Structure 1
Amino acid sequence: MRFGLGQFTLQIPPWDNRTHADLYADTLELAALAEEVGFDSFWLAEHHAANDGYIPATLPFLAAVAARTRRIEVGTAVLLAPFHEPLRIAEDAAVVDNISDGRLNLGLGLGWAPEEYRMFRAEHKGRGKRLGEFAQVLKGAWTQDRFTFEGEHLQYEDISITPKPARAGGPPIWLGGNAEAALRRSARFGDGYFPPSSATFDTLPDLAANLLAMRKELNPEQPYRFGSFQNVGLGDDEDDAWRSIRDGVMHVRGSYMAWGQSARDVSGAREAVEPFEEQIRATCIVGTPEQVVAKMRPSLEKIDALGFADTFTSVILAPPGTPAERAREAVDRFARDVIPALRS
């Protein structure tokens, strides 16, 4: 089992007085610290047009992280495929993979916010099938000198991209989603799967086992990976730990609720979801380091025993609005007091 940091959204909620230049600098420092203290990967999410600056361009930022580090893997969780041209992403990802010397992971998703689909004039109908074709185009472009693809939604004839990625076969492609069709799409076309961060940790082993069975049915020859993202708060007790991440977690969840209603102003997002605080808290892992280890270990051991080629869990320790110094303390404490215990 490997451990990642993120997924970072790089939002600035109303109580955070930093500029995005400040936040980006702080986050790059945090990525370097994560590598130093023993994390294995760093992840970014993507959304568009939110008035809190939710990061819209993941690959440029990951290139900056790659340039600041030497070992830690970097990844998108997720890049929203309907809003991108596949060959452009194939080229951009290949460049980042070369900057990082083969450390890029490319998570792809569909998105769901109506405003984003309108903004990019993206077709909602058929988006799932198009995502499967998107993944196939990336693999073909990365692994073949000349590439032709004839799909229902995407067609390319005799194309070539250079440079090729540094990693043989290209960056692993992770496909997420909740629906049965999304799970089967990942099992058929993806190199790995991760669920949304709202999934409760104790449900992950059954989900992972189901996915591995699908993989053996749909694409048994290729190795398969499983990852997850989890909000984690560390403190002197469970209430103290929840307070350390509460405002940021609530802001993110409130943002998603607002976007589902076609709103892009998320200045009141935290307050909007206060009636659901207990349900949101239940999806997070909070407590002392010892309590967090006890809560995470059973699911991680079950997932590890299933036989995936690679597994990771990535922790969101510093949600939006977390002061830089407190974020560094949380990263250092998790690496010092939680990771070694879970690996022992």
Structure 2
Amino acid sequence: MAVDMSRKGDIEEELKSLKDVLSVAQVVVSSLDLDEVLQNILYSAMAVMDMPAGSIALYDEPLGQLSLHAHAGLSDQFLDRYRWPVKDGSMIRQVLDAGEVFCLENVGSSNGVDDGLVLQEGIQALVAVPLKIQNKIVGLICLDDFAPRTFTERRLNILSILASFAAMSIDNACLHQRTHHLAVTDGLTGLYNQRQFRLMLKEEMVRARRYGKPLTLIMFDVDDFKAFNDTYGHFKGDQALVAVAEILRESMRECDMVFRYGGEEFIAILPETGLEVALTAAERARRSVEEKSLDYLRGIAERGLTVSIGVAAYPEDGLDRDALLHVVDALLYKAKREGKNRIYHQKPEV
């Protein structure tokens, strides 16, 4: 009878383990958003091991480095290290190459930790789980406790199964992210495309109306681009567009959004920005293209490029998306008709 009861207890424990694995798997594969996937994986792993802290880093194989993408329960000082190289012979290198769950129940009594930040953080016990698909290293889960402890085989087994689901889920999310990026960006310049511009302008105008904030559009057109193409060829013309895109990206503020609108036209959304500030930004961009484009095109062309610019502000120049686009487009072509390499905006009525 005692044997039967013991067997019953083992079966119940196995069933509980299977339920835990199923529960974890459902959470891990429930999203394709990479940030959400990583956070779900981390919290699931922490729950499985009953650990108060942890992190997930993704592995960049060409660079041979890890980058932190999800974390919980760790100090700002510890998190300052966003990227770090995986050095040959290091503990992390050995863990990644072995591809198995690695644990230290008492960091203080082990010589296996070669990371000063781990010791400085006061971590006393840790579990490191490589995330691999076949021979490809995806990343690393690290779970931490601030006191020595014992890890049960049952929990480690569940964590190992979780890591398998996690690696597949992360790989799928990364693929989804890359696919989405291709759908919303211009293949030549890497800027957002016109489709994404229209979506983001709609969102920004809703915000501007809701909170009573200004918003400005700056539209750019490369001057005499057809002549440039005819002189140097379409391949070098493409290189010229890439150069202009890079100069515009560098000259605008971090909060501004620059898009390739089509052909040789670019457009920028400046959220929460009035006309005067936008005109200053437009002049900075115009001057940057004029002064820097020849350096970007050295060895490609004997002359640099200039841009004509139109600037339109919400709400003064239009109360909806189409009205604002109509105004900024008209102002751009006025700049081109009246001399090029200049900026036009609507003068406020007195």
TM range, normalised to the smaller chain? under 0.3
Specify the structure having the higher radius of gyration (Cα).
Answer: 2
Structure 1 length normalisation: TM-score?
0.23
Higher relative contact order (CA 8 A, sep 6+): 1
